[in-house]
């Protein structure tokens, strides 16, 4: 993925950080509205298509447009196990139910352009803190999950989406401030996916 192309798109939406009544902010809001119109307000059509491709795998829709500009789906990589967005108690119960670890694939699809990114997480229960801790990776933790990843990557490719690598996502974009990130800290990820994560 060409960094120049990505930065040009970001500048189109965020350049000079004009206030909400100015055109560049309106462009961002219009892009989000277009994506919501195409895929459903929370990406329901994407979730349905993923569910059909990944039969038997639970998919939680975590899309939230408050500080995010992407659709977000968390796929539990254990077949035929129900999963919904959970609190601490439910997360601990799930990890224990699965024998001490739970693996997930987080897929994010930007509303700001034809981009997506993903990562894997593995949750463990820590007896010392009595809490669930997570380990994150760009690669599958298990060879069994490589086929699922190929299916998801193929789906995104057919949608015309390009994957942005971690190294590019972590680059700071100069001259831009967001609601939750100050100038000098804003990354490409913050601009295209979420102000609050990564």
Q: CA 132 to CA 93: how far, in whole Å? A: 10
Residue 197 placed within a domain: no
- Does the pTM of the predicted model rise above 0.75? yes
Domain count for the chain, please give it: 1
Residue 131 placed within a domain: yes
Whether 18 has a pLDDT exceeding 70, the answer reads no
- Output the average pLDDT for the chain: 90
Count of alpha carbons within 13 angstroms of residue 163, beta-carbon side:
17
Whether 1 has a pLDDT exceeding 60, the answer reads no
Residue 7 placed within a domain: yes
Assign 180 a pLDDT band (cuts: 50, 70, 90): confident
Q: List pLDDT tens digits, range 52-96.
A: 999 999 999 999 998 899 999 999 999 999 988 778 888 889 999
Residue 198 placed within a domain: no
Tell me the mean pLDDT in the region 171-184. 87
Residue 120 placed within a domain: yes
Buried b (16+ CB within 10 A) or exposed e, 19-35: eeeeebeebbeebbeeb
Assign 22 a pLDDT band (cuts: 50, 70, 90): low
Residue 128's domain comprises 3-192
Percent above pLDDT 90 for the chain:
64
Tokens at 138, concatenated: 């760009």
Whether 165 has a pLDDT exceeding 90, the answer reads yes
Q: List pLDDT tens digits, range 34-50.
A: 999 989 989 999 999 99
Whether 104 has a pLDDT exceeding 90, the answer reads yes
């Amino acid at each position: 993925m060409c960094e120049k192309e990505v930065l040009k798109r970001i500048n189109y939406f965020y350049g000079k950080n004009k206030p909400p009544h100015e055109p560049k902010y309106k462009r961002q809001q219009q892009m989000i509205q277009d994506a919501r119109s195409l895929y459903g307000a929370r990406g329901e059509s994407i979730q349905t298509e993923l569910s059909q491709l990944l039969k038997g795998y639970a998919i939680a829709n975590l899309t939230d447009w408050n500080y995010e500009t992407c659709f977000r789906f968390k796929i539990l990589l254990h077949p035929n196990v129900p999963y919904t967005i959970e609190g601490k108690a439910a997360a601990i119960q799930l990890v224990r139910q699965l024998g001490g670890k739970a693996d997930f694939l987080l897929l994010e699809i930007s509303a700001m352009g034809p981009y997506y990114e993903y990562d894997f997480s593995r949750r463990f229960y820590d007896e010392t803190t009595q809490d669930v801790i997570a380990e994150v990776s760009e690669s599958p933790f298990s060879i069994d999950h490589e086929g699922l990843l190929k299916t998801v990557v193929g789906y995104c490719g057919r949608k015309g989406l390009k994957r942005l690598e971690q190294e590019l996502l972590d680059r700071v974009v100069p001259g831009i401030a967001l609601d939750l990130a100050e100038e000098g800290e804003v990354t490409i990820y913050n601009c295209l996916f979420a102000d609050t994560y990564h």
